[in-house]
Amino acid sequence: MPDIIKMVAKNLNFYYGRFKALQDINLTINERQVTALIGPSGCGKSTFLRCLNRMNDLIPGTRVEGELTLDGENVYAQSLDVVELRRRVGMVFQKPNPFPKTIFENVAYGLRVGGMRDNTYISQQVEKSLKGAALFDEVKDRIHDSALGLSGGQQQRLCIARALAIEPEVLLMDEPASALDPIATQKIEELIHELKRNFTIIIVTHSMQQAARVSDRTAFFYMGKLIEVDATETIFTRPSQKQTEDYITGRFG
Ligand SMILES: Nc1ncnc2c1ncn2[C@@H]1O[C@H](COP(=O)(O)OP(=O)(O)OP(=O)(O)O)[C@@H](O)[C@H]1O
Ligand SMILES: [Mg+2]
């Protein structure tokens, strides 16, 4: 299948006050693929991820230059509805952050906030999302119990289900497995593999093995710059830049 372009960053700069955290980023994100963002701590991975659904807008004193598009539309256009953007571009954070509510209500949350009143639809969507996040079988008998009683790995899958319930097109994941044990991590990785049939996924990870296992393309960031992006296999076997090679072979970072 030919690559279909979902999002494009063109000459994107990003500032926290006077500090330029992203410099001239040019990156294309393909639809229904997994793109991994790798690079040493502080290189700008989370900052870039948050540009994609304008989460950085919530941080005072920040500024964006350049262009970012979703299906060809400018994400930073004045006329763009940011709430709608964040519905289309969902996010899962590093630490599972379930609300102190039931499992059901956690997943239903986005639908209710969006004004959905049809309880039959909400129930169907909750079940579908929990299935999509490979959690349903583990929780189906306690769906009205508190989400805080779930294990860390289950909580993270719940947060993924919560993101899926509002049917986003793009899913941003910032180190979604870093707080999890190897078995829970494997479940998340298997899930990512399933999810890319329907979603475009961008994942930040510190684990090279994880990037190699889950992603189609890998982008290497260093000190606010995108050094190199290519097919994951190419990045890990014959990167074109020395800095990429040094990083993936563990010489720094
Ligand atoms: N809210 C903020 N205010 C000011 N500077 C920030 C803010 N958030 C991040 N930065 C700075 O921007 C740069 C990039 O940070 P970012 O969090 O994007 O890095 P990262 O690649 O995600 O790192 P890590 O792997 O440690 O999560 C860093 O120098 C960081 O200190
Ligand atoms: Mg980060």
CA-nearest residue for atom 7, ligand 1, is 16
Q: Whose CA is nearest to atom 22 of ligand 1?
A: 46
- The residues, ordered by sequence, that sit 6+ positions from 234 with a Cβ below 8 Å of its Cβ are none
Residue 247: count of CB within 10 angstroms of its CB: 24
CA dist list (Å): 241 to 203, 211, 251? 22, 18, 14
Exposed e or buried b per residue across 165-201, where buried means at least 16 C-beta atoms within 10 angstroms of its C-beta: bbbbbbbbbbbbbebbeeebbebbbebbeebbeebbb
Mutation choice for ligand 1 from 12, 37, 45, 172, CB with most ligand atoms inside 8 A: 45
- pLDDT given for residue 237 in this prediction: 96
Least confident of 1-5, 136-140, 189-193: 1-5
Q: Kindly report the CA angle at 141 between 136 and 145, in degrees rounded to 5?
A: 95
CA–CA separation, 195 and 213 (whole Å): 14
Q: How far is the CA of 24 from the centre of ligand 2 (A)?
A: 19
How many whole angstroms from 176 Cα to the centroid of ligand 1? Answer: 17
Which residues line the pocket of ligand 1, CB cutoff 6 A? 16, 19, 21, 39, 41-47, 59
- Residues with Cβ within 8 Å of 117's Cβ and at least 6 positions away in sequence, in order, are none
pLDDT value at 211 more than 60:
yes
- For the stretch 73-120, pLDDT in tens is 999 999 999 999 999 999 999 889 999 999 999 999 999 998 999 999
Which atom of ligand 1 is closest in space to residue 43's alpha carbon?
Answer: 21
- Segment 37-79, tens digit of pLDDT: 999 999 999 999 999 999 999 999 999 999 999 999 999 999 9
At 195, the pLDDT band (50, 70, 90 cuts) reads very high
- Whole-number percent of the chain with pLDDT over 70: 99
User: Do 54 and 76 meet the contact criterion of CB atoms below 8 Å apart?
Assistant: yes
Query: What ligand is nearest to the CA atom of residue 21?
Result: 1
Structure tokens belonging to residue 151? 């294990």
The pLDDT > 90 percentage for the chain reads 92
Q: What is the mean pLDDT of the chain?
A: 95
How far does the centroid of ligand 1 lie from the alpha carbon of residue 86, in Å? 21
State the distance from the centre of ligand 2 to the C-alpha of 45, rounded, in angstroms.
Answer: 6
Q: What share of the chain is helix, strand, coil (3-state, %, to 5)?
A: 40, 25, 30
Burial (0-12, 13-18, 19+ Cβ within 10 Å), 127: middle
Q: Name the pLDDT band for 252 (thresholds 50, 70, 90).
A: low
Q: Which of 12, 14, 41, 47 is the pocket-test mutation for ligand 1 (most atoms within 8 Å of CB)? A: 47
Sign of CA dihedral 92, 93, 96, 101: negative
Q: Which CATH architecture has domain 5-100+171-248?
A: 3-Layer(aba) Sandwich (3.40)
Report the pLDDT value the prediction gives residue 199, as an integer from 0 to 100.
Answer: 95
The protein residue with its alpha carbon nearest to ligand 1, atom 17, reads 46
* pLDDT (mean) for 154-179: 94
Taking 80 as the threshold, does the pLDDT of residue 251 lie above it?
A: no
Residue (of 33, 30, 36, 29) closest to 52 by Cα position: 29
Q: What is the pLDDT of residue 253?
A: 53
- Concatenating the DSSP letter of every residue in 18-69 gives TEEEEEEEEEEEETTSEEEEE-STTSSHHHHHHHHTTGGGGSTTEEEEEEEE
> Which pLDDT band holds residue 250 (cuts at 50, 70, 90)?
confident
Domain boundaries, the chain: 5-100+171-248
Three-class secondary structure of residue 178 per DSSP: coil
